[in-house]
Amino acid sequence: MIVGMNMGPGEFAGKPPDQHWNEMLEQVRAARDHGFGRISIGHHWVIHPFQYFNVIPWLARLATETGNMLLNTGVILLPLMNPVEVAEQMATLDYACEGRLRVGLGLGYRPLEFEFFGVSLKHRAPRFEESLTLMKRLWTEDEVTHHGRFFHITGAKPTLKPLQKPYPPIWIAANSDPAIRRAARMGDAVYIAPFGTYDVVKRQVDIYKEELAKLGKPFPPKEMVFSREYSVGRTRAEAVELGREGMRRKWEAYASHGLQASLPEDDKKLLGDFEALAKDTFVLGDPAECAEEILRYRQMGFNHINLRFQYPGLTHREMLEKIRLTEQVIKRLPAGAER
């Protein structure tokens, strides 16, 4: 099991950005030295009340700090971007991290972001699919002509292709059942979002298996990824105390962004009940309890977990302590992610 650290958003606006930047660099170095196998950074624009750095230059900077750790975009909001630009950005990042890149892609859900870029929210799924199809061609073909619904290219001759061949593994984010099927059809791995309950995730894994079988693809794939909100302490009580307020504040901010509209109905019901939400969707407790919870998902076929534990109000010192404690969790898990 490869354990990844998600780098936010977890800091509300107000901290001096240079201090925020340097603290996050120190946290990445600590994760590298305490057994983490991957760093993940998400992608948003103008994400008030959070303070957040742009994913592309941020990951490029981290590539110099991460040793042998994987890096992944967690996730690029592909419908809002030009696929030619994203294809070249990802190829560049693949060289920056010496072939350790995982390209996480998702639809996005914030109406405000779609307004920024003049893109209709109702077109996000077909734009995503056309963009990814075109990106794969740009990564693998010597000359590309494409005239689609949203994008047009004539006689393009790509000169920058990724280090990994044919391209870095594509992880497709999924909240909904249609997204699970899309991940099976178009991706190398499903990237389960952190919002679903255990039962919802289990049902969606069954959908993923069925879709892979229809496509003649093996299950489990080489990589299979899920995310969980996370708080670890020396005791469960400490983990709850450290995580409760930050988790609540972050989820309230997500709710203000319209996250509920993208969730399954069973998950929407939990958003107003924090205690039930934490019980059913978080990895929380002392190191042994956290490892036990992660292993429940290992039995479904997952071999990557993305831990989200940067919450508003946590100090830098508390973050470093959580990273150190997580080493005790990692030591209780099977090593690696090989199939």
Question: Quick check: is 337 in a domain?
Answer: no
Query: Into how many domains does the chain fold?
Result: 1
Q: CATH number, domain at 95? A: 3.20.20.30
Amino acid at 107: L
The per-residue pLDDT for range 18-74, each reduced to its tens digit, is: 999 999 999 999 999 999 999 999 888 888 888 889 999 999 999 999 999 999 999
Q: For residue 282, which of 308, 321, 245, 263 has the smallest C-alpha distance?
A: 308
Return the structure tokens found at 265: 């109905």
The per-residue pLDDT for range 110-120, each reduced to its tens digit, is: 899 999 999 99
Amino acid at 97: C
Contacts of 292 by beta carbon, 8 Å cutoff, 6+ apart: none
Cα–Cα distance, 322 to 243 (Å, whole number):
11
Helix (H, G, I), strand (E, B) or coil at 283: strand
Parent domain of 274:
2-136+164-330
Cα–Cα distance, 285 to 304 (Å, whole number):
20
Question: Quick check: is 149 in a domain?
Answer: no
Phi/psi for 311 (5° steps) reads: -120, 145
Question: Quick check: is 145 in a domain?
Answer: no
Question: Quick check: is 143 in a domain?
Answer: no
- Give a three-class secondary structure readout of 184-245: HHHCCEEEECCCCCHHHHHHHHHHHHHHHHHHCCCCCCCCCEEEEEEEECCCHHHHHHHHHH
Q: How many CB atoms lie within 10 A of CB 312?
A: 22
Specify burial of residue 301 (Cβ count, 10 A radius: 0-12, 13-18, 19+).
middle
CA dihedral 238, 239, 242, 247 (to 10 degrees): -150
Residue 251: per-residue pLDDT:
67
Question: Quick check: is 170 in a domain?
Answer: yes
Question: Quick check: is 259 in a domain?
Answer: yes
Question: Quick check: is 146 in a domain?
Answer: no
Phi/psi for 47 (5° steps) reads: -105, 45
Q: Is 75 left (phi over 0), alpha (psi -120 to 50) or beta?
A: beta
The per-residue pLDDT for range 265-320, each reduced to its tens digit, is: 555 555 556 567 777 788 999 999 999 999 999 999 999 999 998 888 889 999 99
